[in-house]
Chains A and B, each alone.
Chain A
C-alpha cells in the first residue's frame, strides 16, 4: 500500500492570492492525481500529474488556474491561483500503484477563500 501525506491540512486565504498544496507518497507510484471535493458534492478529477511533463487536465480545469508539478515519482504540487470564494473546497491528492493497481488517497487539504 501507499501512504499519502498532504501539506497544509487546511488554510484560510484571501481572494486573489495563490496557495500551493504539497503531496508526498511514501513509495514510488505509477500515477498521481488531484481531485476536488466541493461541499456536499462528490470527487471531481482536476488533472493527472505526469512526471517530468505537463499535467493532463480534465474538462473545465486549466493550467493557468491549477498549475501542477511532479518532479519525481513520489511528489507533486497543486497550486490554486488567483483564488475566489468558489475555490473553497477540499483538494485531494491520489496515487495509483502497487501489485493490484489500487488507488490511494491523501487526507485532503481544506481550503477556505474569503
Chain B
C-alpha cells in the first residue's frame, strides 16, 4: 500500500536553529513526492516537489530512495516558518493520479 508517514506531530525549534521535518514513504514504483504547507488562517499550498529539486523559502528536500525518505530541511529557522507541514505522495490509480497525505507536522519556531 502507498503510504506517507510523518512521525512527529509537533516540532519546536528556536529561531536560527536548523529544522528537519521527517517524511518516510512506502510506494512500489517511482514516487513523486511533495511538501505542502498551511500557515495560520491560510489555505494549503504547495511548498516544493522533489522533481523540481529547488529551494523554496530556504527549504530543501532530497528524495532518498534507499531510505524511502523525503525529509524537509532548512538550515536556519525563521519565525514565519511556523506552520503545519504535510508530506504527500502521488499514487497512480486506475482513476488517475491522486495525492496521499501524511498526518502532518506542526512546526513552531520560538524566539
Contacts and interface: CB of A to CB of B under 8 A. Distances in A.
B7 to A, nearest CB: 13
B11 interface: no
Interface string B87-111: 0000000011011111110000000
A67 interface: no
B95 A41 contact: no
Contacts of A108: 43
A48 B43 contact: no
Interface string A74-114: 00000000000000000010100000001111111000000
Interface in B29-53: 43-46
Consensus secondary structure, chain B interface: strand
A31 interface: yes
Nearest to A44: B101
Contacts of A48: 95-96, 98
A33 B98 contact: yes
A4 B98 CA distance: 18
A34 B4 CA distance: 19
Contacts, number: 34
Contacts of A41: 103
Q: Size band of the A side of the interface?
A: 10 to 19
B70 interface: no
Contacts of A107: 43
Contacts of B95: 48, 56
Contact of B45 (A45, A56, A105): A105
28 contacts: A4-B43, A31-B96, A33-B99, A42-B86, A42-B101, A42-B102, A42-B103, A42-B104, A43-B44, A43-B86, A43-B101, A45-B98, A45-B100, A48-B95, A48-B98, A56-B95, A56-B96, A92-B44, A94-B99, A102-B46, A103-B46, A103-B99, A104-B45, A104-B46, A105-B44, A105-B45, A106-B43, A108-B43
